[in-house]
């Protein structure tokens, strides 16, 4: 996803002369083309993310739309005061880009995990939160950000994520990427959508059950009824590479809970103390196909 982001940002910068990119001394082999094409709109702030965020706010106050870019929790948790006071309070067009959402950098341990970021960023008024699942969603999320300049947070996977679908309409509500025929739907945000889709395909091929699958790249409601497409389902199983508190499942429990029963699959508290690959840490929390299938079948058995 990070490659899709930087490639599209480079394309956009050719026709948007006020786009500016600041990195926190990383992105090597990723950001070079942008830096070479637009040296006057690129800055390496060094390993100083709080300063990077303050500089971004200053540039945005002078008319630039600034993108800050760093790994996982560094441009978010480390910079929370600057995001709150410098960017959001002044409603400035700064997009915080976090690469390595969830436990994509699992082998580097908890310092590199972004597992509370959605919860914390949701508390900031006026901040749009976007969590795409694949490169196609990245491009559409970027279009949304450019068309709606203001404080925003773009939560990306690490790299190598495959294209999962071609459904569009990020600004209109959750993306209905697989239409099924059950009262239970799977709803995911971020790259874990791949697990939801694989589980749905397994349920159909083995058990003859065809659940709908939704992707939620835009976490922030942008209109009344933004999540209404989900309330037609009696049960919603949410999948997210984020802790239970403050994430997608909790958001939908508040918005859709009166019409739909929410069953949440998220990162367990125990998983954050572990070190290992992304797939290993997902499995520790039940974010894998067999567990999703098991939960879906248990719901079906209760009907």
CATH T-level fold of 170-302: Rossmann fold (3.40.50)
Same fold, 2-156 and 170-302: yes
Of 155, 156, 151, 145, the residue nearest 16 (C-alpha): 145
Q: Are 73 and 117 in contact (CB under 8 A)?
A: yes
Sequence ranges of the domains in the chain: 2-156, 170-302
Question: Which CATH code, of 3.30.70.660, 3.40.50.1100, 3.40.50.970, 1.10.3210.50, is assigned to 2-156?
Answer: 3.40.50.970
**What tens digit of pLDDT does each residue of 60-112 get?**
999 999 999 999 899 999 999 999 999 999 999 999 999 999 999 999 999 99
232-276 pLDDT per residue, tens: 999 999 999 999 999 999 999 999 999 999 999 999 988 888 999
The answer to whether 76 and 117 have CB atoms below 8 angstroms apart is: yes
pLDDT tens sequence across 206-224: 999 999 999 999 999 888 8
Q: Is the dihedral of CA 212, 218, 219, 225 positive or negative?
A: negative
HSE of 233, CA atoms in CB hemisphere, 13 A:
29
pLDDT at 285 over 90: yes
Task: Provide CB contacts within 8 A for 190, sequence distance 6+.
Answer: 101, 102, 131, 132, 133, 155, 157, 240, 241, 242
Across the chain, mean pLDDT equals 95
Q: Is the pLDDT of residue 158 over 90?
A: no
The Cα 55–Cα 67 span in angstroms is 11
- For the CA atoms of the chain, what is the radius of gyration? 19
Is there a contact between 95 and 67 (Cβ–Cβ < 8 Å)? yes
- pLDDT for residue 302 is more than 90: no
161 Cβ contact partners less than 8 Å away, ≥ 6 residues apart: 1, 133, 134, 135, 191, 194
- Round to whole Å and give the CA distance between 125 and 136: 27
């Amino acid at each position: 996803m990070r490659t899709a982001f930087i490639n599209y940002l480079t394309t956009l910068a050719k026709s948007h002369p006020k786009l500016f990119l600041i990195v926190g001394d990383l992105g090597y082999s990723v950001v070079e083309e942008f830096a070479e094409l637009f040296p006057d709109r690129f800055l390496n702030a060094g390993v100083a993310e709080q300063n990077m965020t303050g500089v971004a706010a200053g540039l945005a106050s002078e008319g630039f739309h600034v993108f800050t870019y760093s790994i996982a929790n560094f441009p978010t948790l480390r910079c929370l005061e600057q995001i709150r006071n410098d960017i959001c309070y002044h409603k400035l067009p700064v997009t915080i880009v976090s690469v390595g959402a969830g436990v994509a950098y699992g082998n580097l341990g908890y310092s590199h995990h972004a597992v509370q970021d959605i919860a914390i960023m949701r508390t900031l008024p006026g901040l749009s939160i976007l969590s795409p699942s694949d490169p196609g969603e990245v491009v559409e999320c970027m279009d949304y950000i450019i068309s709606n300049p203001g404080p925003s947070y773009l939560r990306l996977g690490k790299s190598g994520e495959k294209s999962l679908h071609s459904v569009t309409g990020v600004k209109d509500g959750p993306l209905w990427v697989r239409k099924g025929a059950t009262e239970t739907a799977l709803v995911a945000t971020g790259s874990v959508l791949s697990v939801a889709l694989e589980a749905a395909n397994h349920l159909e091929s083995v058990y003859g059950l065809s659940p709908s699958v939704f992707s939620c790249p835009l976490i922030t409601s942008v209109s009344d009824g933004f999540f209404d497409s989900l309330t037609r389902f009696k049960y919603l199983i949410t999948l997210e590479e984020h802790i239970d508190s403050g994430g997608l499942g909790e958001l939908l429990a508040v918005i859709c809970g009166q019409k739909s029963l929410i069953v949440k699959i998220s990162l367990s508290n125990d998983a954050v103390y572990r070190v290992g690959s992304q797939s290993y840490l997902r499995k520790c929390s039940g974010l894998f196909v067999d567990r999703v299938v098991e939960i879906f079948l248990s719901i079906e058995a209760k009907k």
